[in-house]
Amino acid sequence: MVRTLAVKFCEQHPSKETHVSCSKCGKAICPICMIDTPVGLRCRRCARLKRLPTYQLDGQYLSRAVSVGMVSAILTGVAVILLRNFFPLISFMGLVVLGFVGYFIGELISRGVRRRRGKILKIIAAASVFLSFIIISFGSLYLFGIVDISLYMFLGLGFAVYMAISRF
């Protein structure tokens, strides 16, 4: 006795032939549409795919991230300017100090948004580090007449951005 299976076509992709159906609603699903769940294969609608709460960002978290980023950028910029006044930074030490600035800004933003993650938070952290870099550069120029535009400062900026975005 030979048993033949009825040929079905996926409802989302009518050109795809399939023998699989959703275990909940019974719709024909192709390999592109199927989601493997603990109770069997399901279509996307029945599987109810949701983003992880860690990656869900609403307006409250975004505004908190921006405000914490701006405040931390201003505070770290002023702190580095004052540190420069008392201890002239050797070029390599400037790179290390900017690395700490990036880590500090990234950590404060991360804590401010309760360890949420996402691409927009990386952008906010990088912008905050860049704002801190601008404050350090122009503040040193205005207050002390120090212009430190060197390769080490730009390497330090890149290192600081990396340290800030690695928190997310």
Q: What pLDDT does residue 3 have? A: 65
DSSP-assigned beta bridge partners for residue 21 = 28
The tens digit of pLDDT for each residue in 121-148 reads 999 999 999 999 999 888 878 877 777 6
CA distance linking residue 155 with residue 148, whole number of Å? 13
Residue 25 tokens read as 């609603």
Report d(CA 40, CA 109) in Å as an integer: 40
- At residue 48's C-alpha, the angle toward residues 121 and 55, to 5°, is 10
HSE of 90, CA atoms in CB hemisphere, 13 A: 2
- Name the E strands within the chain: 8-9, 17-18, 35-37, 40-42
Could you tell me which residues come within 8 angstroms of residue 24 by beta carbon, excluding any fewer than 6 positions away? 42, 43, 46
Percentage of the chain with pLDDT > 90? 38
Please write the tens of the pLDDT for every residue from 69-128.
Answer: 999 999 999 998 888 777 766 667 777 888 999 999 999 999 999 999 989 999 999 999
